[in-house]
A and B are shown apart, each in its own frame.
Chain A
């Protein structure tokens, strides 16, 4: 069994005041854990069990819906926790900063695009910054627990930054004010980690 449920890389209250402790605790120990457990149960005893998540997502349209929903939920949250940090915020540097400027014109313009993707995703879902097969950057959103690695996604690529916009990610603190949550998110982004993801995703 090559799947492991990750522990959070910081304390539950480390992202306060932007994301409250209780939200982090429930999000990690209940939601994320449930996706993981259900994913493991859904692939147990099948040929998917020995594949990587990336391989599974590349053929997700042929997999049972429980694998898509829970595998997505498992992977997406893994990435989400990693690109957040109590010492986050600011702007990217180096190659990623250059690529963002080249693609979107400026960091602010990129943020606007990402904010729109996150705010306009109706219902539950995620906003993404991804690297496409031609190494270009792409901002998009996906419903529910889908992600850009899935063959059902309309803008496929390798996600390097993800924002959870399910209501469970922010409702205890922000309720109906999703834009406030999205605004607070930028104070937490771990750009070092995102840069690392970017370099790994380049082909």
Chain B
């Protein structure tokens, strides 16, 4: 099992990495951030196209790698529902507050709860989620859908930041150049993957540990590149949700605009940390 080997290597690596202690990685309180406070029931007559003016509190920036490799290596049944690393309104105007709130507190939370229900009292409960994904074809479809939904959204929230945008630096920048030609060639390819995914799904930048390469792909519904069923498998570094629920309140049918705006929010240091963990050095 290559992923298991990789996991062990990554754990050893993580343990020696100063701002990536296990204690820090699992410092995720179940529900008490301001972001997780009980939301008002969403009013159905909300004029959804007007983005509302909201006074955002200063975003709380948490350590970039909050749910890194060591987080995911625990038994799936022990995984907490991670808090959002910023306020609901922190990604305005790119992603509106109401969208983040419903997306995190309803959609994401439902995937988490349904995943926990689906693995309870099965052999999956004690398996790391990455191992479940690597063997996903043998498990019930509820595990695939909700496990993917749980994991993918954690990556998505954490690879965005109110202070995001710009371009990557260091090894990530070099590898992007090496495998795509240039940063703009990479974003073009990623945009294309995000826009052409028909129906619901995700666009990804991943690291292929077998060939040591970066690649761009998209997956349907809540599948991801760690899954046995993925067309090309790898370790996800950057995730973009292109389900309509991710953008419809603000962008409606204009997915392309949402995809373009996304780059302003990308948390490159987080993506870089994922790459370092994936490469294992």
| B163 interfacial by beta-carbon distance below 8 Å | no
Known: A26-B252, A26-B253, A124-B200. A176 touches B48 (CB 8 A): no
Interface string of A149-180 (1 = CB under 8 A from B): 00000000000000000111001111110000
A170 to B196, CA, bound (A): 22
A45 within 8 Å of B by Cβ?
no
Q: A30-B253, A167-B243, A175-B106 are in contact. Are A123 and B199 (CB under 8 A)?
A: yes
Closest to B248 in A: A171
Q: Say whether A22 faces chain B, with CB atoms less than 8 Å apart.
A: yes
Enumerate chain B residues within 8 angstroms of A3, measured Cβ to Cβ: none
Which of A30, A65, A145, A172 has its CB near the most chain B CB atoms (within 10 A)? A172
Chain B contacts of A34 at CB under 8 A? Answer: 253
Q: Is the CB of B245 within 8 A of A123?
A: no
Contact count A vs B, C-beta below 8 Å: 67
Q: How far in angstroms is the closest Cβ of chain B from A185? A: 15
Contact, CB under 8 Å: B49 / A171? no
Contact B199 A172 (CB under 8 A): no
Instruction: Determine if B243 and A122 form an interchain contact, defined as CB atoms under 8 angstroms apart.
Output: no
Q: Which of A69, A125, A145, A167 contacts B244 (CB 8 A)?
A: A167
The 8 Å CB contact of A168, one of B44, B49, B145, B244, is B244
Whether B244 pairs with A166 at a CB distance below 8 angstroms is yes
Per the bound structure, the CA–CA distance linking A20 and B49 in Å amounts to 13
Q: Name the A residues within 8 Å of B244 (CB-CB).
A: 124, 166-168, 171
**Given A123-B200, A124-B199, A176 contacting B253 (CB threshold 8 A):** no
18 contacts between A and B (CB under 8 A): A26-B253, A30-B253, A122-B145, A123-B200, A124-B244, A166-B199, A167-B245, A168-B248, A168-B252, A168-B253, A171-B245, A171-B249, A172-B248, A173-B48, A175-B44, A176-B102, A176-B106, A176-B110
Using CB atoms and an 8 Å cutoff, list the residues of chain B in contact with chain A. Answer: 42, 44-45, 48-49, 102, 106-107, 110, 141, 145, 198-201, 220-222, 243-245, 248-249, 252-253
